[in-house]
A and B are shown apart, each in its own frame.
Chain A
């Protein structure tokens, strides 16, 4: 069964304190892995898509990496505005439909 597990569930960091969020997945063939940011009361905002092991993508203070079993979202010198829930999702290669499977997310809180 396809599964996406994110850790930790919640993370509190001081402003400027870099860290990483983990997304472990088991899927029968990966078409793509997606990272989203969700603010309270809002829909998820797309951040990155990763397609193959070894791929990396960056956007401002965020960098996403992918291996065959997991993905990391590295946050460098975070600011309070980076506080949000970060969601990871995977799409299976041989989908009969287009759906993606979400993890439960990591709630990140950056203290000023």
Chain B
């Protein structure tokens, strides 16, 4: 149980391209999903918290217009990296928390490796 699917797993594209990453909870409903960025041998850095049906909450220093988040249903959140540049290359990971309680653990997708040429 508690499976989170993230697609695509890897993206390589040219500078200036916008890239959309999907995060789906497959066997539970998630009112809250989270988007993280992880650099090599570093821990996860929270970028934003996505709440179903409302605007995402971004962490300090994360550009809202660069990283667009949509959480249109209880099972799907998307992160769009707009006009991506080489410095946006990273490992992006989403997580989802079951709507049954705030103490429920976050369950993570397998990440998206984004490479901007």
Contact = CB atoms under 8 A, between A and B. Distances in A.
Contacts of B103: 31-32, 49, 51, 91
B97 A98 contact: yes
B1 to A, nearest CB: 11
B102 A43 contact: no
Given A43-B6, A97-B49, A103-B43, A34 B102 contact: no
A39 B39 CA distance: 14
Given A49-B103, A91-B103, A43 B108 contact: yes
Contacts, number: 56
Interface in A66-112: 87, 91, 95, 97-100, 102-105, 107
Contacts of A105: 43
A99 B46 CA distance: 8
DSSP majority for the B interface? strand
A71 B107 CA distance: 20
Nearest to A96: B57
Interface in B56-113: 57, 91, 93-95, 97, 102-103, 105-111, 113
A43 B93 contact: yes
Interface string A49-68: 10100000000000000000
B25 interface: no
B57 A44 contact: no
B107 to A, nearest CB: 6
Interface of B: 2, 4, 6, 32, 34, 41-44, 46, 49, 57, 91, 93-95, 97, 102-103, 105-111, 113
